[in-house]
Amino acid sequence: MSWSEDVFKVLDNHEVATIATVPDAGLTGVLNLCENSETKKVVTLTTEEEGVGLMQGLWLGKQRGALLMQSSGVGNCINALSVVASTRTPCAMLITMRGQWGEFNPWQVPMGHATQPVMEAMGVYCYSVEQADQIAETFDAACGLAFNGGYATAVLIHQRALGTKVF
């Protein structure tokens, strides 16, 4: 079973019905499973910070969502994440990392390097994963903290777990 299938089960176990995303190749498997599911709605965003607002709206409406994106979009979310931290709104995020192991694109390196410290400065609890077989387990723990404690959490999936992108 692939990590995408395991993550999909985690979403089910935590009753997450809405997936907000700016699609990324590393997330294709889990996004395809969600799009083909009768229990999930995938909302494709024009920019990542819209997803943070959507997570807040879903929670206020007594629903659960998850935000899936690439690390290059994290910089777009910083101001919105300040509201999440201030209101203790759950925000479970699954983030594929760029600018790390074997990166070919130098434009990805600064945000890849800054993602975790910037998110932590905004009150997001981050969990880094370097092995594919640890993604779902880590995301399950992050969802538990988010939905049971009212925190923003992010699982940062390193390029080592996904394989280096080459174009």
Tens-digit pLDDT profile for residues 11-32: 999 999 999 999 888 999 999 9
Distances (CA, A) of 114 to 34, 63, 74, 98: 29, 31, 9, 11
Q: Report DSSP state, residue 38.
A: S
* Alpha-helix residue ranges (DSSP H) falling in the chain: 3-13, 28-35, 48-60, 78-87, 109-121, 135-149, 159-162
Those residues with Cβ within 8 angstroms of residue 63's Cβ, 6 or more apart along the chain or in another chain: 17, 18
Tens-digit pLDDT profile for residues 84-112: 999 999 999 999 998 787 778 888 888 88
Q: Can you tell me which residue has the tokens 């969990």?
A: 127
Q: Are 156 and 95 in contact (CB under 8 A)?
A: yes
Distance between CA atoms of 70 and 74, rounded to whole angstroms?
7
pLDDT of res. 110 = 82
Tokens coding 155: 């699982």
DSSP-based three-state secondary structure for 59? helix
Domains in the chain, CATH or no CATH each: 3-158 (3.40.50.970)
Residue 149 has pLDDT above 90, yes or no: yes
pLDDT of res. 1 = 53
State the pLDDT confidence band at 166, using cuts at 50, 70 and 90: low
Tens-digit pLDDT profile for residues 50-78: 999 999 999 999 999 999 999 999 999 99
